[in-house]
Amino acid sequence: MQTDLIWQALEWPGLEHVVVSADATGFRAAGQLVVGPPVGPASVGYQLSCDAGWRVTGLTISSASATGSRSLSLRADEHGHWLADGEPRPDLDGCIDLDISLTPLTNTLPIRRLAWAQASPQDLDVVYVSAPDLTVRRVSQRYTLLAAGPTDNATVYRYESGSFKAEVTVDGDGFVSDYPGLWLRAWPAEGAGA
């Protein structure tokens, strides 16, 4: 499977284009975001890789604006040990998933990786990459499968982190189609599948 995804930001000016591919060896994504104030202005590019079980193995991410450029490389082994720019990050040990603040793509990772039962929450510790500043920290998140969505191939999950909550609609491939107030997928259109 290989496809293009485009999301329009709703809370600030922004657009993201991602090329995703998956096969028996794993999942890969190459994304480009352009965001305006209050988050930017900045451009962010990333390359994400996961193994066949949707566990993150690596992320290379960079950001650029008039104030400068930054880059970051994260790598994880099969035991959940992380390196940031080649240096061990024991504070991230045990994290399987990764969340990049400015993209709905990374919501797909736990959605595809975990086994789901309706109304049974899944609690996760994830590596959280704040963009465009590219700081990294461990955060707790919770996903709960709520119900089938408005179309046969759409599903709704409640996402929670700290005091933030959202009911996120994903397509049959686990890619976000509607992240209320934050992101709306522009391509492919909802219901078309990825």
Does residue 193 belong to any structural domain of this protein? no
Strand 97-100 vs strand 122-130: parallel, antiparallel, or unpaired?
parallel
Does residue 192 belong to any structural domain of this protein? no
Does residue 92 belong to any structural domain of this protein? yes
Instruction: Look up residue 112 and give its DSSP letter.
Output: H
Q: How many domains does the chain have?
A: 1
Does residue 194 belong to any structural domain of this protein? no
Does residue 94 belong to any structural domain of this protein? yes
Q: Which two structure tokens, joined as six digits, stand for 105?
A: 């793509």
Torsion 187-143-165-70 (CA) sign: negative
Does residue 125 belong to any structural domain of this protein? yes
pLDDT, block means (10 residues), the chain with 194 residues: 96 97 97 94 98 97 96 94 98 97 97 94 97 97 84 85 96 95 90 48
Does residue 61 belong to any structural domain of this protein? yes
Domain that holds residue 33: 2-187
Record the pTM: 0.93
Q: According to the model, what pLDDT value does residue 191 have? A: 47
The answer to whether 34 touches 43, Cβ cutoff 8 Å, is: yes
- Catalogue the E-assigned strands of the chain: 2-9, 14-23, 26-35, 42-50, 56-65, 68-76, 82-84, 87-88, 97-100, 122-130, 135-148, 155-161, 164-170, 176-179, 183-187
Residues in the chain: 194
Does residue 83 belong to any structural domain of this protein? yes
Q: How many CA atoms lie within 13 A of 146 on its CB side?
A: 15
